[in-house]
Amino acid sequence: MDQNLFYDSQLENDNITWRLYSQPYTESGEEVQSDSDYSELVAKGIMRDTSLEIGISHRYSSGCYDPFRITETLAGLLPGYLGKVGQKVVQNLNPKTIMPIINAAGISANSINSISMLMNRNIEALGTSFNLAQMIGSEFMSAFDLVNTYTGSDVSIFIPLLETIWFHEKGNSVRSRIANLQKRVLGDLTHLGGLFGLQAAPNNYLPKLENLSADIKFTGSFMLKLGNLYSIDNLIITSVDYELSTINARVKDDNGNIVSSGEPLYAIVKIRVEPAAFITKEKLKKYLRLS
């Protein structure tokens, strides 16, 4: 880094920069240390987009959850039985008939008895009001279908593009920095007989099932600091783009002569990251530093 360059000097200002960190490698340099802190700086640059977008969305479905599939059962039974004897439908909904389903679902008999009694009353009322001819061409409706049922929430963090520029430096060329980054963003390919291969995950990434915990840390993930306000962990790199200069960097040799270095003058690096773990309310409060 050349402190005489304005851009390089601004990289030391944490208020305006992004910094991407990863877990360090083991002593062998071949694997990432599992569950260790994000202590190794991978890349940094000046923030071009100074906003962080958070999205919270909810999922609802039409109709409430029906563990006994009562609505589906009624829809199939009513056309054939309601025009004859409404009581036959009631018998088909008897708890003894659907007891195997109840037991499998772990629901008490009292609960299904209450449901059965309610269905009995409604079916008896239908049986006295309609006949089979009236049912033909009609649509069977249930209260189960007329409500919106909550099925989950999603929290999204849209992280802006991470962009930086590397200039050639003596002893720290553009190629050497790209090589260090490549170890983090592209896993090794093991050839299996030439016809098949096994592609390893980048940075030895390994997810964990218990990702609802606010303190869980994925092996091989990254942590991003945006200025001095936000720190977001458990990130994965989804893409990296390099724009390499086609002009050779010119440097001074030991005799003071200007010569070609044989190295690119610069490289523009663009990195895209996104969360790998499910973001809970607790995690979001942690990321946004909410009290």
**pLDDT > 80? residue 91:** no
The answer to whether 5 and 46 have CB atoms below 8 angstroms apart is: no
Question: Tens of pLDDT along 94-124?
Answer: 455 555 555 555 555 555 566 556 656 655 5
pLDDT attached to residue 273:
96
The answer to whether 146 and 139 have CB atoms below 8 angstroms apart is: no
| CA atoms of 267 and 152, how far apart (whole Å) | 43
How confident is the prediction for the chain on average, in pLDDT? 79
Instruction: State if pTM tops 0.75.
Output: no
14 — alpha (psi -120 to 50), left (phi > 0) or beta? alpha
The answer to whether 99 and 190 have CB atoms below 8 angstroms apart is: no
How much of the chain is in helix, strand and coil states, percent to nearest 5? 30, 35, 40
Question: Of 160, 289, 290, which Cα lies nearest the Cα of 231?
Answer: 289
